[in-house]
Chains A and B, each alone.
Chain A
């Protein structure tokens, strides 16, 4: 049965691409000594397709995994705020993620107005439940994706459990609304240390703290001070600070100057999206959210792209790169490289491109192009 399912995508590729197909899918396992030695040791991961085009993208990932013979089992949950009756309960999802310690997640849509008076969105609830405090978005120019800037390679690290997203808002007097932005020393230190440790681990040279401490002297001031304190423990990493407005300007004019950036919640959200726009949009940037124990991989710029549902036009690159990162995290490096190289090869060749990066191909065609480019890394 497994052999048959593995053959199906091959048939599809042969139909779409004609004769030039490598026949590796049915021989993936037996050919590689590295892969063959562990036939029965599989990893379980939680899967949350999300809203909008999420399910399409996740399907694409599953197809690629099947073709590559990746030993990952999914625990799938339908989780949605706009569709509360069908959604799995938060507790179940959180329990599954903390058990599996890794998850792949699409984007959850958040309505602009709350009907129930609830101020916290489902996304925020999930993050708070699992304490997913650090959001990492790796913005990197991809080969074959034409943009204004090239050679961008920066990592934006965002605190995502406090700040403006604390969901503390109230109307003290009719017509006067107060929205509280919470900054704590503990969480600021934690995110600063995360950023510096990330820089050490990935051989990065510089950490930039993005803030607005000239206006919010106490709140952002605390964040900035925590970063400065932490910087003292990392003498080999350059530390610089930048005000958020200047940062956005620098980002669109000279984005190559940035390396690792550490930001409070809202600024991070804005800078993430800005930077994603520079390298090709929401369809190509992957991200991940870390707690001490678990990681949720999700696209870097959070857009559900709900207008494209059913049109088969969304770009699965971001989700595939997330999946590749997930594989690297669970120590399946060989497969991780396989998926990543295949995606990069397809983008590089530029023959199969989705609409958002200037092509005419469908999600499905892109997926099959990736599958036909899957190649075992050379030993």
Chain B
């Protein structure tokens, strides 16, 4: 799939690129010029069936979870080589962070924990947000599916949240025009709304889903959310086989906690996405289970679904390894290593639903390492050993 992304050379940009290339570096072409967003694709990092993937452990429980992922991959024989880049959250220097972006550009795929940005100075932007903007990862997908064996308030939930990832409230445009008056801009563009909506409908078509709900607050923000809603309605006309409706965000939250089964695929702007995904995670078992996928035209980043660092439980061996392992399974599926993905997924399912091993956040008493060990045992017992 990554291969396909890279090979679809955006020809329409090629001429612009050629004109600009004489004076600008590749980095500038991608980041400093609003018109020319895309860079000519770099050959994909796949050699002899093995992929190179950038790993950003991030802060809090990130490093331990990544250690588990590597351990599980070693035993599952997943053909992936990680390039680990540690980013110091306290440092205000952005060298390591820039290097991380370069590395993802080279490898095309990354897996990350939550990168902390300790600095509260206004000049330092959140690195998580910066990463998504720099790589133009315009869509975030969270597949909220009930994990069998995990105690939760709602059963059999299967909802896909598709969230605009690079603009909206996260545009990071804030200023104090007059003392005591702060303006924060929410940016909605037609081109990005179009991309997200199209992605959602294509996704629904590809995965055989029936219904798409656009979540908005167009009754209040008539122009910005109005544009988002209008765009998705327009795109919906091109896909008559998929049902489309819309819902206001406050109502949506209420419906989610009372009757979540009415939803199938949901699309929304950035901030609503953040809220809705946390609501849903809470419904099916907390932050420790789900994984999120960020896609752009050329790059993909996989991460735990709710973007929490879990600093409070770091180093205590009680962090739930499932979320990061789920993210790694998503990554293997994305890279086309379906056998390995299934192998790890089945081992996880067995550990949770048959052995009933759960970490304290899900009401169990097992430690992280016990769960990982059990997963590895299941992998070793499996009859298949694809390499």
Contact = CB atoms under 8 A, between A and B. Distances in A.
A and B associate in one complex: yes
Nearest to B25: A232
B83 interface: yes
Given A41-B385, A43-B387, A134-B47, A201 B77 contact: no
B321 to A, nearest CB: 21
Contacts of B31: none
A291 B385 contact: no
Contacts of A102: 48
Given A41-B385, A233-B102, A330-B387, A293 B48 contact: yes
A333 to B, nearest CB: 8
Contacts of B105: 233
Interface in A100-157: 101-102, 134
B380 interface: yes
A196 B102 CA distance: 13
A40 B47 CA distance: 27
Nearest to A295: B48
Contact of A236 (B48, B49, B99): B99
Interface stretch (A17-25, A186-194, A206-214, A362-370): A186-194
Interface in B365-381: 380-381
Interface string A173-195: 00000000000001001100110
A292 B81 CA distance: 14
A161 to B, nearest CB: 14
| Central interface residue in B50, B381, B384, by most chain A CB within 10 Å | B50
A290 interface: yes
Given A37-B381, A201-B83, A236-B99, A193 B106 contact: yes
A84 interface: no
A127 to B, nearest CB: 14
Contact of A294 (B44, B49, B383): B49
A189 B106 CA distance: 12
A38 interface: yes
Contacts of B48: 101-102, 288, 290-295, 329
A88 interface: no
A377 interface: no
A330 B48 CA distance: 10
Contacts of B45: 193, 197
A197 B99 contact: no
A331 interface: yes
| Central interface residue in A40, A190, A292, A330, by most chain B CB within 10 Å | A292
A235 interface: yes
Contacts of B42: 189, 193, 233
Contact of A235 (B25, B77, B102, B380): B102
A200 interface: yes
A148 B217 CA distance: 77
Contacts of B49: 101, 292-295
Contacts of B3: 292
Contacts of A37: 380-381
A38 B380 contact: yes
Interface string B20-38: 0000011000000000000
A332 to B, nearest CB: 8
Interface residues of B, number: 28
B341 to A, nearest CB: 16
A41 B384 CA distance: 6
A292 B3 CA distance: 10
B360 interface: no
Interface in B288-311: none
A291 B79 CA distance: 14
Contacts of A229: 26
B256 to A, nearest CB: 43
A143 B99 CA distance: 38
A190 B43 contact: yes
Contact of B52 (A197, A288, A291, A330): A197
A201 B43 contact: no
B52 A41 contact: no
Contacts of A330: 77, 387
B384 A201 contact: no
B208 to A, nearest CB: 29
A194 B26 contact: no
Contacts of B50: 329
A290 to B, nearest CB: 5
A174 B83 CA distance: 56
A197 B99 CA distance: 14
B129 to A, nearest CB: 23
Given A232-B26, A233-B102, A236-B99, A197 B47 contact: yes
Interface in B48-63: 48-50, 52
Contact of B106 (A233, A290, A293): A233
Contacts of B25: 232
Contacts of B99: 235-236
B387 A201 contact: no
A201 B385 CA distance: 24
Contact of A290 (B47, B77, B383, B384): B47
Contacts of A235: 99, 102
Contacts of B387: 43, 329-332
Contacts of B102: 233-235
Contacts of A186: 43
Given A200-B83, A233-B42, A292 B381 contact: no
A315 B255 CA distance: 74
Given A233-B106, A236-B99, A38 B46 contact: no
Nearest to B386: A41
Interface string B72-88: 00100101010100000
A193 B43 contact: yes
Given A41-B385, A193-B43, A292-B46, 15 more contacts: A41-B384, A101-B48, A189-B42, A193-B106, A197-B47, A200-B83, A233-B102, A236-B99, A290-B47, A292-B47, A294-B49, A295-B49, A329-B48, A329-B387, A331-B79
12 contacts: A37-B381, A190-B43, A193-B43, A194-B47, A233-B42, A233-B105, A233-B106, A235-B102, A288-B48, A290-B48, A292-B48, A294-B48
Interface of B: 3, 25-26, 42-50, 52, 74, 77, 79, 81, 83, 99, 102, 105-106, 380-381, 383-385, 387
The 3 A-B pairs of least Cβ separation, nearest first, read A41-B385, A295-B48, A331-B77
